[in-house]
Structure 1
């Protein structure tokens, strides 16, 4: 497949997102096809780092490292602005259930590269020590809805939903006072968290799921949570699921 033909897959996701005007799509197409840098006056880098990696001419590890090295030449202010936009793309697109391949929707915003991009961001930092991905402790009820769909192999699930790769972040959030407060005060979060816990328990016990990776995910999650002394409301929700 020519690179021009391959671009259609990327264009489909970018267009479906609705976040980019035609001028942005043309700029990203030129970067993808020719490694052509944008011209004009911009505040910072007009191509967020996550796009620079995803659309890179050389998608190898060495190619991505070269992109990252170039990114690190930006001023700290410009680099942080780029990361802010990259995180927005991760959580508004890669973590969205609408990229489920149904009714013309793309299958995964990053077409299966979600985990690789996420792991890359988690393993790098800026010159001042700021992690590229940063912390995360905002787990709304839709997080659990999307994970339940994925674990059960539902036809409406996004198989590359970002949250499936974020188990470490979820466990870290158990110590977040903000998230504990959210869980204590929001009924919908507790309801869907309990349903999610029940799904994890069932799959871990049966060791069966139609979805690749779901059994391993459920078993690892169950192993980790059983080894903790949980705070409320997590302890009661896990015990009663």
Structure 2
């Protein structure tokens, strides 16, 4: 199979997906598939690869290829900030099944992979599907190419029209740290859903307007996160984002003021 990205830029599907564990940063609201472990290594990685890459204020989704073999070596995706309606999310097709595979660029030149605009949440947030637009739901998918564990590109009419992350709770982490290899605790899955309910729905606008009921939801969620003892690596990844909202809108007293 050959995929089209950015009009006339194409790549062939290979039999070798990336073996890199995805990292789901809830604070950045994005997914990265790469081996770099700090900012300096990421900078070198960008210089040593080609593809769809950030430049100044331009922030597309990213696919990185090795210049020598033109093979896919990494990716970064941004998750849309607002979730689609449940009715639209229910239309995300379950077929075809994911076919593991890598990509080999037809030519070594840069291109642009536009960020997706629609976030579709599966029941229980067992999967996050990010689409170019909701028109994608009007026709079947040609393929799901699993470029890394639980990460797939969605293909329609030979063109990449989105991507998905299955079991997002498993891959929660902060910064460049690898996710905890142990399965997520059931409480973590529930708290991820509560966090997504807050930041991807109109409830977030109510928080920003300091609506009392919305702030009560925020404070209760912050309290639940801080009191959850198990699976702290993943819980901390959620807490960072919620703590920022608390500081900006909920007027939570600082440690110094309580003293």
Tell me if TM exceeds 0.5. no
Q: Higher helix share goes to which structure?
A: 1
Q: Which has the higher contact order (CA 8 A, sep 6+)?
A: 2
- Give the structure-2-normalised TM-score: 0.28
